[in-house]
Amino acid sequence: RTTALTVLGSTNMDLVAYVPAAPRRGETVFGREFRTVPGGKGTNQAIAAARAGGAVTMIGAVGEDDFGPRLRAALAGADVSVEALRTVAGPSGTAHIVVDDDGGNSIVVVPGANATVTGLAPGDEERIAAADALLLQLELPMEGVLAGARAARAHGVRTVLTPAPAQPLPAELLALTDLLVPNEHEAAALTGIDDPRRAALAFLDDVPEVVVTLGAAGSLYVARGSEPVTVPAVPARAVDTTAAGDTFVGALAVAHGEGRPMPEAMAWAASAAALAVQRAGASSSMPDRGEIDAGYGAHAEAAARTGQH
Ligand code: ATP
């Protein structure tokens, strides 16, 4: 069965400079290459989920600038429904990204049109109600995120929250979250606990299920009343980790919506994320379902041969 997902989130044009080493404050360096790539955590998760085989609707906003139509076209080109993507006065969101030769990145996000999404528009509640899950991140105003989460809960739709960029979470949002997916830095920032396993367990006071992503170390799942499970990453030569987490979440939501148990969904999502980090660009680097299946199968086979799991 196809997983239906609605994403309420940001749409940004990523302005990406590739440099040997990132500049320090006051320093100017030459980059080797510049690209504009559609991005934003919402759009990244939407495109990742659609490429992974989900039926995806995007709720958000773009500006009346040159980037707006390109962002809309990028989503539509990945088969994401854009009928609920509004066009508003002013600039689109932009993310100014510096990627260094080690594949690390630093990012400045200017919200632009995303800042206007402070609530739901007519039809959005129905779009949320029709989905298996609503994917949320924190690049929209908190009132907008909360409005989406409330609508999902009212219709019994599962909510998946990526708490990024990390910021204090209102108690109401946590109470409306079914699955929280922080990376290890966000988990530490939100709980004040550096150890990801202890941080994940601390979230269970507020949220029934948590997946903490651990970069090349994989991901960790905890749920109330069950033992924590760690799922390894799929080994990859990282070129650009910009959207690793969003690719992981998009694929995870698709696999879970298909009824696959969480550890299996995490392993499948790890295959998707490993393919994404091996290619430059955010949304343009996301693998399709066939590629994810192939990577997942190859990894399981290699693990069986070496006696790991
Ligand atoms: P980003 O903010 O860069 O989008 P993130 O910090 O949210 O990423 P990570 O925890 O770094 O998320 O990575 C998410 C998932 O991507 C990991 O659980 C892992 O499966 C995969 N991944 C990330 N980095 C690597 C890597 N170097 N090699 C293989 N897999 C990776």
Q: What is the mean pLDDT of residues 20-45?
A: 95
Q: Would you say how long the chain is, in residues?
A: 309
pLDDT at 281 over 90: no
When pLDDT is cut at 50, 70 and 90, the band that residue 65 belongs to is very high
CA angle 86, 154, 113 (to 5 degrees): 20
Predicted confidence at residue 307, as pLDDT, reads 56
Work out the angle at residue 8's Cα, subtended by the Cα atoms of residues 217 and 112, and round it to the nearest 5 degrees. Answer: 95
What interface predicted TM-score (ipTM) does this complex get?
A: 0.97
What's the pLDDT score for residue 308? 53
Q: Is the predicted pLDDT of residue 214 greater than 80, yes or no?
A: yes
| Segment 179-202 mean pLDDT | 97
Burial class (CB in 10 A: 0-12, 13-18, 19+), 104: middle
CA 301–ligand 1 middle distance (angstroms) = 22
Query: Would you call 102 a catalytic residue per the annotation?
Result: no
Q: What is the pLDDT of residue 282?
A: 66
Residue 298's pLDDT is 86
- CA–CA dist 75, 81 (Å, integer): 7
Mean pLDDT value across residues 184-207: 97
In sequence order, what DSSP letters do the residues of 255-281 get, joined into one string?
HHHTT--HHHHHHHHHHHHHHHHTSSS
From 100, 124, 132, 246, active-site residue: 246
Nearest CA to ligand 1 atom 17: 215
Q: Report how far residue 225's alpha carbon sits from residue 305's, in angstroms, rounded to the nearest whole number.
A: 33
Q: Which residue has the tokens 């958000």?
A: 60
Q: Do β-strands 4-8 and 85-88 pair in parallel, antiparallel, or remain unpaired?
A: unpaired
Give the pocket of ligand 1 (CB within 6 Å). 183, 213-216, 218-219, 233-234, 236, 238, 241-246, 248, 270, 273-274, 277
CATH of the domain at 183: 3.40.1190.20
User: Both ends of the chain: CA-CA distance in Å?
Assistant: 27
Check: CB of residue 295 under 8 Å from CB of residue 274: yes
Q: How many domains does the chain have?
A: 1
Answer whether 141's CB lies under 8 Å from 106's CB.
no
Average pLDDT over residues 161-186: 97
Q: Supply the range of the domain harboring residue 129.
A: 4-305
**Residue 285: what pLDDT?**
77
Per the CB < 8 A criterion, the answer to whether 199 and 187 are in contact is yes
pLDDT of 122: 97
| Interval 215-233: pLDDT, tens | 999 999 999 988 999 999 9
- Per-residue pLDDT of 221-272, as tens digits, reads 999 988 999 999 999 998 877 789 999 999 999 999 999 999 999 999 999 9
Q: Which strands form 219-223's sheet, in the order they lie side by side? A: 85-88, 55-63, 4-8, 133-136, 158-161, 179-180, 209-213, 219-223, 226-231
Residue 210 has pLDDT above 90, yes or no: yes
